[in-house]
Amino acid sequence: MTALETIRAALAHAASRLGASDVEVALERPRDPTHGDVATNLALTLAKTLGQKPRAIAERLVATLELPPGLVRKTEIAGPGFINFFLAGEQVVGVLPSIIAAGKDYGKSDVGRKAKVNVEFVSANPTGPLHVGHGRGAALGDGIAALLAWTGWSVTREFYVNDAGTQIDKMARSLWARVQQQAGRPGAIPEGGYHGEYLNELAATILKKEGKRFADLPEDEGVRRSREIGVSAQRAEQDQDLREFGVRFDVVSRESTIYERRLIDATLAELAAKGHTFEADGALWLRTTALGDDKDRVLKKSDGTYTYLVPDIAYHRDKHQRGFVKAIDVWGADHHGYIPRMRAALQALGYPGDFFHVEIVQLVRVMRGGEEVRFSKRSGEFVSLRDLFEETGVDAARYFFLMKRGDSQFVFDVDLAKSQTEENPVFYVQMGHARMSGIFRVAGREPGSVRADGVDLSVLTQPEEIELVKELAEFPDVLRRAAAAYEPHRVTGYLEGLARIAHAWYHKYRVLGEPEEAARLVLARAVQQVLATGLSLLGIRAPERM
RNA sequence: GCGCCCGUAGCUCAGGUGGAUAGAGCAGCAGCCUUCUAAGCUGUUGGUCGGAGGUUCGAAUCCUCCCGGGCGCACCA
């Protein structure tokens, strides 16, 4: 148990003795060193529930607090009711052995208690290549999934294929039109169809493989086969792009199977049985206004067909029936208006309010040479994900997508992503890792062989060294908070901060050949390891050399 | 017109779920290479947190209104 964990547990225990059980104890590292090494605002947060003044609570907390001897040098109450802890000198540096001992697992926690959570992301229609917006969703969804797994959830990464709607129909007709055109016949892309060059390429492949007689098929048959071939080709291409982007899914669900498994009828029956549907104007409605939506929604249109809401409800009902206690969906901003009705529908089914959670990803604009890059030749619209990561590299693309909050509008600076200087945050962090690795390379030592046992760490007294150790100690907390908030960008921010101190330390002090060599190797190893762990959670490589 | 998101340094953005004197990075300015990567480091300039009210011990953070930007508002997906 690290010093931080000990303090956290002791505070939680003291709080429960004051009558506040099950509290989340937040520890922070004050910016101002006169505020101690570790501080908590626990007394301030308890003020409301306990109905007492923060400073009075702080005094009672400190009085009941039981800390093992030798851990804390001084405890004080400051400002409005902060409790500041000044660690005994050897304690600060004392986290290093536990970091080394935990190795690749340093920072893991079990707050998720193995509960099943489903993270659904990308879920692009199989009508064309993935664009940069999908890339942002992919990076974010994968990052959230990794953070949840890291904090003890049992995570399933899922991709949902809308393979049954009218968009697919338009893709099929567009492809058929391209086949006709290439066979020398008139063929027009339908209204709202797909004009991208990729369908021309696919049409050429089909004609090559199937021969010209494919174009002679009756229209019904031609469109039907175009649909089959098109869907499977687009899916295969999307999978390939995602694989190269470093994203893998555990489950791919298809809208068509929702129909095949008769989940539609079962879902409608359950909604009706629970009294949430009604008929009006020849249609079947869901009374979502009773659950926070601003208007009721049609389920079954007066022409007898279903709205798209129905398979979506059925799909999420299926997630619930598969045992997930949480379903997190990553959606593009253009779907955000859809959230209230979906939430209402799932509440109508009786699921808890926190079962369904949506993370919104805003659109991505791509800048190169100071100008916005709008179109991709192949896809006919937007910049494709592949174009982007082939130009910048996967590491830079993923890092850039993750360094801002998902719901912020984001300008992707291609020139910056490609630059090999400190201005580029990915490069900067990776360089930090490479530099630590370089020390071991020159020393001729395997970093993994470093042990803290028997090393006198008390020689680590330089301000940069103390700061580095404190920063390393915060890693588990950062990951916990990032996971709880579904915010991978906190991890990139943390890594940049850690790398910054590491660069400063590296620049100012030597490791090899100094009296502090053994201790500094332990520190360098810990930094290297945490940078590597953080990067790998985000799906980014940690190179040994640049 | 209604709903959701956003507005923080010249630029790009953080701000740990209401806490201590609002922070980084770029850019600007001034410096630093006999060294384990200068692919880097150090110092410094720069703020009415869009505006106005409110809630309380305390607000960039919560509430109301206004201004500005984005996205949605179908018996389309």
In a domain? residue A335: no
Structure tokens at A233: 């080709």
Considering A70, A87, A104, which residue would you say is the last residue of a domain? A87
In a domain? residue A389: no
Q: Is the CB of A30 under 7 A from strand B?
A: yes
Among A100-104, A443-447, A455-459, A480-484, which stretch is predicted with the lowest mean pLDDT?
A480-484
- Whole-angstrom distance, CA of residue A147 vs CA of residue A151: 6
Q: How many domains does chain A have?
A: 2
Tell me the CA end-to-end span of chain A in Å, nearest whole number: 35
- Whole-angstrom distance, CA of residue A514 vs CA of residue A511: 6
Q: Is the CB of A23 under 7 A from strand B?
A: no
- Identity of the amino acid at A497: G
Long-range CB contacts (within 8 A, 24+) of A439-442 = A439/A511, A439/A512, A439/A521, A439/A524, A440/A521, A440/A524, A440/A525, A440/A528, A441/A544, A441/A545, A442/A512
Give me the CA A294–C1' B2 separation in Å, rounded.
10
**Is the pLDDT score of A18 beyond 90?**
no
Average pLDDT over residues A185-198: 88
The pLDDT confidence band at residue A21, using thresholds 50, 70 and 90, is: confident
What per-residue confidence (pLDDT) applies to A379? 58
Nucleotide with minimal C1' distance from the CA of A43 is: B19
- Measure the CA dihedral A46/A49/A51/A56, to 10°: -20
In a domain? residue A19: yes
pLDDT in tens, A219-243: 999 999 999 999 999 999 999 999 9
Nucleotide with minimal C1' distance from the CA of A431 is: B39
Average pLDDT over residues A35-47: 84
What per-residue confidence (pLDDT) applies to A78? 85
What per-residue confidence (pLDDT) applies to A375? 64
What per-residue confidence (pLDDT) applies to A380? 60
Q: pLDDT exceeding 70 applies to what percent of chain A?
A: 98
Considering A87, A113, A142, which residue would you say is the last residue of a domain? A87
Q: Is the CB of A428 under 7 A from strand B?
A: yes
**Is the pLDDT score of A214 beyond 90?**
yes
Quick one: CA dihedral A446, A452, A456, A459, positive or negative? positive
Instruction: Kindly report the number of other CB atoms within 10 A of residue A180's CB atom.
Output: 17
SS3 track for A313-353: HHHHHHHHHCCCCEEEEEEEHHHHHHHHHHHHHHHHCCCCC
**Is the pLDDT score of A33 beyond 80?**
no
Q: In chain A, which residues from 171 to 230 place their CB closer than 7 Å to nucleic acid strand B?
A: none
Angle at A245 between CA A241 and CA A246, to 5 degrees: 120
Q: Is the CB of A234 under 7 A from strand B?
A: no
**Is the pLDDT score of A20 beyond 80?**
no
**Is the pLDDT score of A22 beyond 90?**
no
Structure tokens at A388: 């982007």
Give me the CA A416–C1' B14 separation in Å, rounded.
19
Q: Is the CB of A284 under 7 A from strand B?
A: no
The pLDDT confidence band at residue A5, using thresholds 50, 70 and 90, is: confident
- Whole-angstrom distance, CA of residue A345 vs CA of residue A288: 7
The three-class DSSP label of residue A116 is strand
**Is the pLDDT score of A26 beyond 90?**
no
Considering A27, A58, A87, which residue would you say is the last residue of a domain? A87
Q: Is the CB of A166 under 7 A from strand B?
A: yes
Q: What is the DSSP letter of A188?
A: -
- Whole-angstrom distance, CA of residue A122 vs CA of residue A112: 24
pLDDT in tens, A260-315: 999 999 999 999 999 999 999 999 999 998 888 888 999 999 999 999 999 999 99
Give me the CA A148–C1' B19 separation in Å, rounded.
28
What per-residue confidence (pLDDT) applies to A1? 66
Which residues are A329's β-sheet partners? A120, A358
Nearest protein residue, CA measured to C1' of B73:
A337
In a domain? residue A216: no
Taking each helix axis from N to C terminus, what angle separates A42-50 and A3-17, rounded to the nearest 10 degrees? 20
In a domain? residue A323: no
Q: In chain A, which residues from 345 to 364 place their CB closer than 7 Å to nucleic acid strand B?
A: 360, 362-363
Q: Is the CB of A32 under 7 A from strand B?
A: yes
What per-residue confidence (pLDDT) applies to A417? 86
Mean pLDDT of chain A: 90
In a domain? residue A473: yes
Q: Is the CB of A236 under 7 A from strand B?
A: no
Nearest to A23 by CA among A8, A38, A5: A8
Could you give phi then psi for residue A27, rounded to 5 degrees? -110, 140
**Is the pLDDT score of A55 beyond 90?**
no
Q: Is the CB of A147 under 7 A from strand B?
A: no
Give me the CA A294–C1' B74 separation in Å, rounded.
14
pLDDT, greater one: A429 or A192: A429
Q: What is the CATH number of the domain that holds A501?
A: 1.10.730.10
- Whole-angstrom distance, CA of residue A437 vs CA of residue A432: 9
pLDDT in tens, A415-449: 888 887 777 889 999 999 999 999 999 999 999 99
Q: Is the CB of A296 under 7 A from strand B?
A: no
In a domain? residue A114: no
Q: What is the CATH number of the domain that holds A20?
A: 3.30.1360.70
| Diameter over CA atoms, chain A | 89
Could you give phi then psi for residue A67, rounded to 5 degrees? -115, 140
What per-residue confidence (pLDDT) applies to A378? 61
- Kindly tell me the burial class for residue A332, based on how many C-beta atoms sit within 10 Å of its own C-beta (0-12, 13-18, 19 or more): middle
Predicted complex ipTM: 0.91
What per-residue confidence (pLDDT) applies to A356? 92
**Is the pLDDT score of A199 beyond 90?**
yes
Instruction: Kindly report the number of other CB atoms within 10 A of residue A365's CB atom.
Output: 16
pLDDT in tens, A505-521: 999 999 999 999 999 99
- Say if residues A159 and A421 touch (Cβ distance below 8 Å): no
In a domain? residue A177: no
Which positions on chain B have an atom < 7 Å from some protein CB?
2-6, 12-21, 23-27, 35-42, 57-58, 70-77
What per-residue confidence (pLDDT) applies to A511? 95
What range defines the domain where residue A527 resides?
425-537
What per-residue confidence (pLDDT) applies to A377? 58
Average pLDDT over residues A152-166: 93
Average pLDDT over residues A519-546: 95
pLDDT in tens, A316-365: 999 999 999 999 999 988 888 888 899 999 999 999 988 999 998 887 88
